[in-house]
Amino acid sequence: MKKLFALVALVATLVSCVSNQPEETFDKFNSVVYELNIRQATEEGTFAAAEQYLPELKAMGVDIVWLMPISPIGVDGRKGTLGSYYSIIDYKAINPEFGTMEDFDHFLATAHDLGLKVIIDWVANHTSRDANWWKEGKKDWYVMDENTGLPIVEYDWTDIAKLNYENEDMRAAMLDALKFWIEKGVDGYRCDVAMNVPGDFWKGAWEEVRKINPDVYLLAEGEETWLHEAGFEATYAWELHHIFNAMAKGGSETKNVAGDGTIKTDAKSVNDLKEYLMRDDEKYPAPAMRLMFTSNHDENSWAGTEFERMGDAHKTFAALTFVLPKSQPLIYTGQEIALNRRLQFFEKDAVKELVDLEYNKEYRDFYRNLCSFRHANKALAAGNNVAPIQFVDGAGENVLAFTRQKEDNTVLCLFNFSAEPTTVTLTEAEAGDYMCACGEAKSFKAGDSVELAAWGFMLLSK
């Protein structure tokens, strides 16, 4: 008779085995990124206040702290009361809303003392419409609108001015600003709409930046493969994120079709997810990393929280981002306390509960244990020798079941992407003795079955 292993409480599956913890050395290929929204993370909205939360991020297992833009914000065309972080006046100054340059230096030093890397959000595509460069009369540094005599506006970003990368002086000034922060000790950049900036600029800039810090970490907002060729280590997995949303909504994501008012429904299934993973593997050769997420500042504010978009599946997809090949998982401000509201983008909207370390420990432990499981298993690391995914034969149509193996380390990951319980029958290839992420020893042989709850998952390693 087949043995039946029941999946108990979802969170219980993620209690890590402490004995498997690696030494605390930074490995960007097995790292976790946390996007810190300084304005909203505390009531004060300052570097000094957010600095008090850094030990908790370290304890959670975060490796890289990504700060949304920290520079002064433009007034001309400002959106809302406080404006968009992405409308920059001065690339080499600090937004006074957040504190002083000395406050930032102290924040950076504290993070480094804890073993955390800090990257800052860089907006190279545009400035504010009243940026220092514009006020200094450098009109040829901008792409101009012939009708208005002013810099062009992209999309609905009425508070920005598009930069002209045909101007060599502007390029030199941008490079100077990039080098300024690296020389201060910043560990890298997340680059906003990086695909809208010429690749030859990025390539040359990163060559110069790496002369200052050879280990600088570079993340591009964009999916274009040439971004990796231009020197970025990681790019956004936007397509994967939209597949997640579609699968979580019962296999469909509703979209407005431009112009005619009709609705298009794109059904997505586990087969679509598998096809994507195989295509992504070919499209982005190692050591490329792919930022994977269930939320970020754009998704939370404009598309909705993970609870709105993914419902009961939100934890399942979050766990998946920690175990897929080439993944670099992202946690956004408030996810670790199950923040269930859209943060206002242009106004003060503090996540007051964040600094109460006793608040919603279930979700704090959930993310802490995901980080721990990832760090404890070298089979989950990205990099040149990324462990390939091997799908379990015969898993049900709503089940994603796979192994990944590197040297003597194997992980077995089982996910039920449906609202109904299901079972997975294991084959000879998955047989063996495992440690469940819940801390229990599990022994499987060919033909054994594992029961997964609705939207349930199980992570195991040996």
Per-domain residue ranges for the chain? 24-123+234-386
Q: What single letter denotes the amino acid at residue 3? A: K
**C-beta separation of 429 from 392 below 8 A:** yes
Structure token pair of residue 271: 């087969």
395 DSSP 8-state letter: -
- What phi and psi, each to the nearest 5 degrees, are found at residue 100? -110, 170
pLDDT, tens only, 341-372: 999 999 999 999 999 999 999 999 999 999 99
Instruction: Express each pLDDT in 303-345 by its tens digit.
Output: 999 999 999 999 999 999 999 999 999 999 999 999 999 999 9
pLDDT, greater one: 417 or 14: 417
Q: Is the pLDDT at 438 greater than 80, yes or no? A: no
Phi (first) and psi of residue 451, to 5 degrees: -95, 130
71 Cβ partners below 8 Å, 6+ apart?
88, 89, 90, 91, 92, 93, 94, 95, 123
Residue 61 has pLDDT above 50, yes or no: yes
Distance CA 179, CA 94 (A): 16
What is the distance in angstroms between the CA of the first residue and the CA of the last residue of the chain? Answer: 25
pLDDT at 261 over 80: no
> What is the residue-averaged pLDDT of the chain?
91
What pLDDT does 264 receive? 52
**Which amino acid is it at 270?**
V
Nearest to 189 by CA among 141, 221, 229: 221
The CATH H-level superfamily of 24-123+234-386 is Glycosidases (3.20.20.80)
Tell me if the bond preceding 96 is cis, omega within 30° of 0.
no
Helix (H, G, I), strand (E, B) or coil at 442: strand
pLDDT exceeds cutoff 50 at 449? yes
Task: Report the pLDDT value the prediction gives residue 249, as an integer from 0 to 100.
Answer: 80
Judged on CB neighbours under 10 Å (0-12, 13-18, 19+), 12 is: middle
Please report the DSSP string for 327-371 in residue order. EEEEEETTGGGT--SPPPSSS----GGGG-TTTTHHHHHHHHHHH
CA nearest neighbour of 163 among 193, 186, 189 = 193
The pTM assigned to this predicted structure is 0.92
- Tell me the per-residue pLDDT of 74-102, one tens digit each, with 9 for 90 and over: 999 999 999 999 999 999 999 999 999 99
Band of residue 24 on the pLDDT scale cut at 50, 70, 90: low
The listed range with the strongest mean pLDDT (245-254, 255-264, 387-396) is 387-396
Query: Of residues 14 and 306, which shows the higher confidence score?
Result: 306
Q: Is the pLDDT of residue 20 over 70?
A: no
Kind of pairing between the strands at 432-436 and 399-406: unpaired
Q: What is the pLDDT of residue 300?
A: 96
Give 69's DSSP letter.
P
Q: Cα–Cα distance between 9 and 12 in angstroms, integer?
A: 5
Specify whether the CB–CB gap between 136 and 90 falls below 8 A.
no
User: How far is the C-alpha of 92 from the C-alpha of 364, rounded, in Å?
Assistant: 35
